[in-house]
């Protein structure tokens, strides 16, 4: 379109206009990829939170502080969030959002 047309069609052509509809965007492969990237990043974040909390809970000398801070409960909540964002339904819940940009990374769909 930089030169006013694409495959012989200008911006007023129905085929080109259709490419800018909500339905077309939401059904596109590149949009789905953005949703999977968002899921991957969210899963990695919550996996990291759970790991940090596990390390704190198992570190010698932290028992009293862990109890005072409610770390076991926080770990339970973090594990619940990890399960939520890792589920296939999470990707569906992201439909309509921006998802995430792949620039600077090449995450896989499994996180």
At 65, list the tokens: 């502080």
List, for residues 39-76, the tens digit of each pLDDT value.
999 999 999 999 999 999 999 999 999 999 999 999 99
CB 15 within 8 A of CB 82: no
User: Could you tell me the two tokens for 89?
Assistant: 């339904």
The residue among 33 and 20 whose pLDDT is bigger is 33
Half-sphere exposure of 31 (CA within 13 A, CB side): 16
- Residue 81, pLDDT above cutoff 80: yes
Would you kindly state where each structural domain of the chain is located, as residue ranges?
Answer: 29-93
* 6: pLDDT strictly greater than 90: no
Give the pLDDT confidence score for residue 108 in this predicted structure. 53
Q: How far apart are CA 2 and CA 17, in angstroms?
A: 15
């Amino acid at each position: 379109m930089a030169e006013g047309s694409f495959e012989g069609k200008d911006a007023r052509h129905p085929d080109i206009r259709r490419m800018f509809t909500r339905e077309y965007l939401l059904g596109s492969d590149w949009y789905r990829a953005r949703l999977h990237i968002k899921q991957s990043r969210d899963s990695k974040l919550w996996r990291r939170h759970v790991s940090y909390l596990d390390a704190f809970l198992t570190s010698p000398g932290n028992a009293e502080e862990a109890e005072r801070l409610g770390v076991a409960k926080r770990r339970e909540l973090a594990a619940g969030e990890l399960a939520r964002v890792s589920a296939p339904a999470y990707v569906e819940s992201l439909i309509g959002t921006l998802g995430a940009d792949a620039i600077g990374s090449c995450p896989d769909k499994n996180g």
